[in-house]
Every structure is written in structure tokens, then in C-alpha cells.
Structure 1
Amino acid sequence: MPKIKLIDVAELAGVSKSTVSQYLNGRFDYMSEKTKERIKLAVSELDYVPNPIARSLKMDKTKTIGVIVRDITGYYTSRTIRGIDDYCKTSDYNVLIYNTDVDPEIEARSLEALYQLRVDGIIIASSGKNTALIAKYIERGLPIVHFQLEHDGNEKNIIVSDYRKAAFEATEYLIKLGHQRICFMTQNFKNVKSRMDRYLGYTDALNHYQIPIEQQLIQYWQRKSGFQQPPTNILQTVNPPTAFFTQHLAITTELLTVLNEENISIPDDVSLLGFDDIPMADFFKVPITVITQNPYEIGKEATKLLLNNISNKDAPSQKIMIPCSLSKRLSCKEI
């Protein structure tokens, strides 16, 4: 079946191409009702679908934004995307989503693809490895808003949780339960400001309550290799921690797996507090106490900021901090 073109609609309706174009773009100021009806019938009869890319070449906006995420299956990410999509629906915008699996090369290709598709702007959970490339697109006039992680602190427009305050409040909660030896389990945070902020919140609380900071209680986890030191070994030291404070949902779930395999009871043998909620946590035998972010709100605020930058190219840069909350459950006990 041959592809229907704009000229085919114009010929069937007995009008010019420009008149059909005006109709499709909602410009009816000087168009009679009869003309509109003829074009409407022609579009319906031919089953004509406008080419959005071709139309974007003639318009300032495509009414489409791109979203680049690290792991589309993650609970935090999926809730953020829902916030983005819901806000776009109320603003007549469409969303294109790209998943990178935390691969900087895929992220770079995603940025290029969205730029070629002439999206009006991009929301990105960046790997931190394409800073210069992102800056190049911003210089070309493409609005970009970051979320989830702040890397070097130079991101121009960004929406993140208030990680430092949340980590302080979580550590303080454990301290008030009597815990003095709290094992901070994290990914490498030296080059990622958002992770550093969590560490600083943890140390702020220790300093506030005059508890020494012990480097052996700072333990690292990597996405591919797991824990640098097995949690069971940590619990077998002379003076073991009484609580684990995990900084990522994947760390929490892997730690739970290890403790369960070794029949280590929570909270009888060790308390556990995690960063990021666990789906269906209330159905666990021992529901886990967590810091709860608000990814849906982050998605809405990121979209609101991006659309504002799209409509106002001179809008000042913003860093917006979204509060977290502490969901107290049964995994932390008083000692």
C-alpha cells in the first residue's frame, strides 16, 4: 500500500497543501467550517498519519522529550518515569525512553539519537562519564535536566533527594536505639557527590554524638563483584557492628540474601536499615526499615523544570532537593 502524503489529502479535499498543514496544526482562524470538514473527511478516508519528524523540521517544538535512565527495571526508576509521564500527559508532551544499563557508550548513543530525533529536551540519570558530551548539547541549545545522582556538582539543572539530611536522620535513629558501631555499606563515593553526601550525613551524625569514625566500618560493594568483604566475616570480627546501614537497594537485597543463607537473624543478631524502599517490604517476615525517597515527585519536578527551560531559554539554573522520609519497621532493635 503506497504511503499517503500531505498532497494526497490536499487533492482529495480540493485545497492547497498549506491549508491542510494549517488544519493539522490547529490553525483555523481564516478557515471555513466547510473547508475544515472536507479536510477532516479526506484525512479519515485516506487514513493519513502526519510524519512527526517532518513536521518538527517546520516547527520550533516537537512536543517530545527524551528520558535516559540507568536501569528501567528498578523500582526507583520506574516510579520516576511514571512521574515524568503523568506530568507530560497534562502538558501534551510525548516521552521517549532509553535504557543504558549504566553503560557510558550506550548513554552517549542515546543522547545522539534523541538529539537527531529533535526532542525538545532530555531528562537523564547520568553515568557521570559523558559530562563533556552533555555540555556540548546544552551549548547547542538543548535543555537537559539531571536526576537521581549528582556527580561533580556542576550539573546545571538537577533534581535529587536530600541525601545528606536523610543519611544523618537514619544514623541518628540507630544511635538513639543504642547502636554505636554502625557499618556503612556503600558503592565507591569519592567521585559521586550524591554518594558522598550520604557518607557525610552518616559521619555528621557520628560526630554530633561524639562517636569515633572507624574506617573498618566503611564497607564497599560493586555492582558486578558484590561485597569487597563478606558480611559474615565482618560480623565475626572481635568488635562487630550491631547494625548495617546500606546505601542502595541492590546492596540491601544482596545483604539480605547472604544473611538468610547464613541463618543470621534480623534484628536479633544484627539490625538493618536501608536506603530506598523495597517493593512489598511489608510482606517480609521482618519488614526492613528504610529511607524512602519520593521518585514520583522527582519525576514530576524534573519534567516541570525541563518544560520551563524549553519555554524559557533564559531561565536560571536550578538545583532542587526533594525531602526523604524514614519508614520505621521491624529490622532495627534497641540495644
Structure 2
Amino acid sequence: MQKAKLVDVARLAKVSNSTVSQYLNGRFDYMSKETQQRIRAAIKELDYTPNPTARNLKGKKTSMVGVIVRDITGFDTCRTIRGVDDFCRKHQYNAQIFSTDFDPDVEARALEALYQMRVDGIIIASSGKNNDLIADYIEKGMPVVHFQLEHDGSEKNLVLSDYRKAAFEATEYLIDLGHRRICFVTQTFENVKSRKERYSGYIDALAKHNVPFSSSLIQYWHRQTGFEQAPKALLQSDNPPTAFFTQHLAITTELLAHLNQEGIAIPDDVSLIGFDDIPMTDFFKVPVTVVKQEPYVIGKEAASLLLDIIENKDRHSQKLMISCSITKRQSCRAI
């Protein structure tokens, strides 16, 4: 059966196309109750579904926002999305979710799809590879709020964890336990400001407590290939680390698997503190100490900022920093 169109509703209700359009957009000021009833009956009889994109080509709000994340299954990402969705529903907005699987091309297609859908704004955990496209949409009037990552500092509206302070406090916690050889395990951070902030916090803590910096204690992990240097090899070196400080949940879980496979005990052989909480860590033989972010709060604040921009596109740009906390468990010991 062919899908009913607006013109079919107008014909059955015996009104003009513009009157049906006004009804669909909630403009009843000059419309009689009888006319409203006829349109409503025609819509029901024809099972007509309005096309939100077509209705809003001239700038009418869709009451939809787009959310682009890197991995929709991520432990913190799920909570961020819930924060966004809860805030949006409370304010009569719907959230359209896209997951890029860390692929910049998929991210670009998601941006283009949301722009074509005429969403009222976009919340994005960007790859940093589509800055020109995002800037173009902003120039065309699309409100955009970044969260989770800051890349080159060009992002105008952001909601982020206070990464530098959190990394400082985590490193200082290990130093207070007596650790001087703390291995900082990270992804490359030269072009990612948020990751560099964590590194800066680590360096700040070492400097405050007069702990010598060693470049050999900066170790890199890659999503596709894993650790550049095997953690076991590091622990068998002449001057091994006494603690690992991992900067991402995926790094922490891979490190745990590696240490377990090699029979390396936490915290007896090496201490561990990770960035981001771990699902069901309390059921681990040795629950892991973590830097805990507030993903739900980040989601709510990102949605709040976006809706503010939608209502007032001339407002000043804003960068919100959300505090983290350390959840102390059994994976770190004094030496």
C-alpha cells in the first residue's frame, strides 16, 4: 500500500495543504475545532506519518539532537548516552545515536546524515579527523558540543573530565605509597590535547615530589596492535616499574589479561591504577583501583549546553570541566 502524503490528508479533510501543515506544527490559533477534528480523523484513517525532515526544511525545530560516539558498547559511553537521553527527554527532545567504531569515515557519514535530518544540534566524541566538516556545519548554523576528547583546541563548546587534575592525583597517590618508578601507559597523544593533559598531570606530580622522570616509563598502546613493549619485559628489566598507571579502560583490561597470562600478581609483583572504572571489578580476585569519571554527569551537561546553544546561538562558547575521583581498591600497595 502506498504511503499517504500530506496532500492526501488535505484532500480527505477538505482543507488546504498549508492548513494541514499548520496543524502538524501545532499552530491552531486560527483553526476551528471542527477543522482540527477533520484533519485528525483524516490522519487516522490514512495512517499518515509526517516526515520530520520535510516539515523542517525551512528552519522549524525537529526537537531531535544527534549524538555521535566512538563505541556505543563502551562502559562509560553507555552512561554518557543515558545522561544525554534523560536530559533530552525531560526537555521534550529525542536523541538519535550513531556509533563510529573509531572510523573517521563513518563519523563523517554520521555527521552528514544528522545534518540532512535537520537535527537541532549535535553532541560528538570526535575523532579529530573531521574538524573542517564540523566547522562547516557550525558555520551553517548547526550547534555542536564536543565531549570526552579535545584534539587541537579548536573545539568551542566542550564538556570534559578534568584529566590533568585526575592524573596528578592518581600519580600522587602512588607516590604517597612509596612508588618512584611509575609506568605511564597511554595511547599516542601528540595531536590529542585531552590525552596530553593526563600526561601533564603525571609530570606535574613527579615534579612536585622530586621524583626523577624517565622516558622509558612512558609506554604506548595501540588499539589494533596492543603494547609496543610487552609489560613482562618491562618488569624483567634492570630497573623495572613498581606500578602501572593506565590511561584507558581498554589498556587496563589488556594489561590485566597479559599479567594474568604471565603469572604476574597484582599488587604483590606490581601495583596498578587505571583510568575509567571497570565493569564488575568488585568480583575480581584483586579489585582494581581506578580514576573514576562521571560519564552520566558529562552526558547531562553536554545535553544542557547543547540545548542552551539551540535556544541562544549567539551565546559565548563554554568549556566545562567535570571532576574525577579515585576509587581505592586492592590493586595498589605501599612499598
Task: Give the shorter-chain TM-score range.
Answer: over 0.9
Segments of structure 2 that go 5 or more residues without pairing to the other structure are: none
Q: 1:109-128: CA deviations, max 9, x gaps?
A: 22222222222211111111
The offset of 1:59, in angstroms, is 4.1
The answer for the alignment partner of 2:199 in structure 1 is: 199
The answer for the alignment partner of 2:137 in structure 1 is: 137
The offset of 1:261, in angstroms, is 0.4
The answer for the alignment partner of 2:272 in structure 1 is: 272
Segments of structure 1 that go 5 or more residues without pairing to the other structure are: none
The answer for the alignment partner of 1:101 in structure 2 is: 101
The offset of 1:36, in angstroms, is 2.3
The offset of 1:236, in angstroms, is 0.5
Q: Are 1:255 and 2:265 counterparts?
A: no
Q: Percent identity?
A: 69
Q: Output the amino acid matched with 2:264.
A: I
Separation of aligned partners in 1, 2:229 and 2:58? 58
The 10-residue stretch of structure 1 (16-25 or 290-299) with the greater mean CA deviation from structure 2: 16-25
1:195 aligns to what SS in structure 2?
helix
The answer for the alignment partner of 1:110 in structure 2 is: 110
Separation of aligned partners in 1, 2:112 and 2:2? 31
The answer for the alignment partner of 1:3 in structure 2 is: 3
Q: Are 1:173 and 2:173 counterparts?
A: yes
Q: 1:107-156: CA deviations, max 9, x gaps?
A: 22222222222222111111111222221211111111111111111211
Q: Output the amino acid matched with 1:176.
A: D
Q: Output the amino acid matched with 1:329.
A: R
Q: Output the amino acid matched with 1:334.
A: A
The answer for the alignment partner of 1:291 in structure 2 is: 291
Separation of aligned partners in 1, 2:2 and 2:199? 61
The offset of 1:217, in angstroms, is 0.8
The offset of 1:172, in angstroms, is 0.8
Separation of aligned partners in 1, 2:214 and 2:97? 42
The offset of 1:27, in angstroms, is 1.8
1:79 aligns to what SS in structure 2?
helix
Separation of aligned partners in 2, 1:153 and 1:97? 25
Q: Output the amino acid matched with 1:160.
A: L
The 10-residue stretch of structure 1 (113-122 or 154-163) with the greater mean CA deviation from structure 2: 113-122
Q: Output the amino acid matched with 1:132.
A: D
TM superposition outliers: structure 1 runs of 4+ over 4 Å: none
The answer for the alignment partner of 1:41 in structure 2 is: 41
The offset of 1:157, in angstroms, is 0.7
Separation of aligned partners in 2, 1:57 and 1:164? 43
Q: Are 1:79 and 2:79 counterparts?
A: yes
The 10-residue stretch of structure 1 (269-278 or 45-54) with the greater mean CA deviation from structure 2: 45-54
Separation of aligned partners in 2, 1:279 and 1:176? 27
Pairwise CA RMSD of aligned residues? 1.3
The offset of 1:53, in angstroms, is 1.4
Alignment of 1:22-41 (within 5 A): 22-41=22-41
Q: 1:26-54: CA deviations, max 9, x gaps?
A: 22223333332222222222211111111
1:86 aligns to what SS in structure 2?
helix
The offset of 1:20, in angstroms, is 2.2
Q: 1:302-333: CA deviations, max 9, x gaps?
A: 11111111111101111110111111111111
Query: TM-score under structure 2 normalisation?
Result: 0.96
